[in-house]
Amino acid sequence: MTLVVLAAGMGSRYGGLKQIDPVGPSGEFIIDFSVYDAVRAGYDKVVFIIKRENYDVFRSTIGTRLEHAIKVDYAFQELNAEQAAQLPADRTKPLGTAHALLCARDKISGNFAVINADDYYGVDAFRIAKEYLDAHNQTDEDSHFCMVGYKLANTLTENGSVSRGICEATEDGTLLSIAERTKIRVAGADAEYLEEDVWHPLSGDSVASMNFFGFTPKIFEPIVTELDKFLKDETIDRMKGECYLPIVTSEAVKQGLCDVKVLVTPDKWFGVTYQEDRPTVVENFKKLADAGVYPADGLWK
């Protein structure tokens, strides 16, 4: 099974190419831990979606040290001529996670999982996603997807606002919808989100999407449809608007094109949204190594 890693983000809030910032005890990046966990769970290929201009540095710092453990491939998030014609010529911001995944379409066959490069998901997330996809998708026409969900309070930072997909699901975990909240911040034990210049309360027990999805290739059909609609929508911000993968998935659910199982994990997410998050992330990985979750002398020795 393939692991697809979304790594084309600009890292503007963090202040650099955070995907290759050493945070582990032996100089590992966050993505090292995710790929290591995926290999342990039985994944046999990883596809990194990156900017073409970052290929050399990305491959030399990450790709080459993984190649002995898993097959590594790359896709570039780029606009085609038709997409570029519908956007300002001076736009530099990537078009969003749905577009990123579409750019990797020809690199993927069979079931696959999608994650962010700068998020730590915990050990079990990779296992439960693979087990679900393998058990529920037996033909090329199956579209039984899954999403690893986290308790919202376990995904927040004290250092600023974050973007999260807030999930609504049935009692048995079948996803009904995902509401993309682009500004969420800590509010005591809970949270609050900004909408139309007003902060609204949000339970810390809400289930949050951290862009860890399990798909079959059937997901590409609604991505093509929703991306086309997005580009033709005259109300979007032509310089900064993005087509989000959780929104495409939610729309596909509403249209009956797929079903999505929310696999809630008690693991605590952490990542480096802001530079101020880095010391906490470094300490967390040290604790995991000290506890024996990861080898203390490095992941790829």
Of 279 and 16, more confident: 279
Is the per-residue pLDDT at 267 higher than 90? no
Q: Amino acid letter at 74?
A: Y
Asked whether residue 299 is assigned to any structural domain, the reply reads: no
**Those residues with Cβ within 8 angstroms of residue 294's Cβ, 6 or more apart along the chain or in another chain:** 24, 33, 36, 285, 288
Give the CA count within 13 Å in the CB-facing half-sphere of 241.
15
**Domain coverage including residue 176:** 2-290
Percent over 70 (pLDDT), the chain = 96
3-state secondary structure (DSSP) of residue 258? coil
Q: Report the candidate in 124, 22, 19, 21 with the shortest Cα–Cα distance to residue 74.
A: 19
Asked whether residue 295 is assigned to any structural domain, the reply reads: no
Asked whether residue 298 is assigned to any structural domain, the reply reads: no
Asked whether residue 159 is assigned to any structural domain, the reply reads: yes
Asked whether residue 140 is assigned to any structural domain, the reply reads: yes
**Those residues with Cβ within 8 angstroms of residue 23's Cβ, 6 or more apart along the chain or in another chain:** 29, 30, 272, 278, 281, 282, 285
Terminal CA-CA length for the chain: 24
Q: What is the pLDDT of residue 238?
A: 86
- pTM score of the predicted model: 0.91
Is the per-residue pLDDT at 13 higher than 60? no
Q: Amino acid letter at 173?
A: G
Asked whether residue 195 is assigned to any structural domain, the reply reads: yes
In angstroms, the CA 215 to CA 147 distance is 9
Q: What is the CA radius of gyration of the chain?
A: 18
In angstroms, the CA 216 to CA 109 distance is 8
Q: Which residue has the tokens 């080898």?
A: 295
**Those residues with Cβ within 8 angstroms of residue 190's Cβ, 6 or more apart along the chain or in another chain:** 153, 201, 202, 203, 204
Q: Which residue has the tokens 């519908």?
A: 86
Alpha carbon of residue 268 to chain centroid? 15
Asked whether residue 124 is assigned to any structural domain, the reply reads: yes
Lowest mean pLDDT among 29-33, 71-75, 79-83, 112-116: 79-83
Q: What is the pLDDT of residue 124?
A: 92
Give the CA count within 13 Å in the CB-facing half-sphere of 25.
18
Q: Amino acid letter at 127?
A: R
Contact, 29 vs 57, CB < 8 A? no
* Secondary element (H or E) of residue 150: strand 144-151
Sign of CA dihedral 85, 88, 94, 99: negative
Mean pLDDT across the chain, nearest whole number? 91
Q: What is the pLDDT of residue 17?
A: 59
**Those residues with Cβ within 8 angstroms of residue 115's Cβ, 6 or more apart along the chain or in another chain:** 3, 4, 5, 6, 34, 121, 211, 212
CATH number at residue 196: 3.90.550.10
Our count of domains for the chain comes to: 1
Asked whether residue 296 is assigned to any structural domain, the reply reads: no
Is the per-residue pLDDT at 260 higher than 70? yes
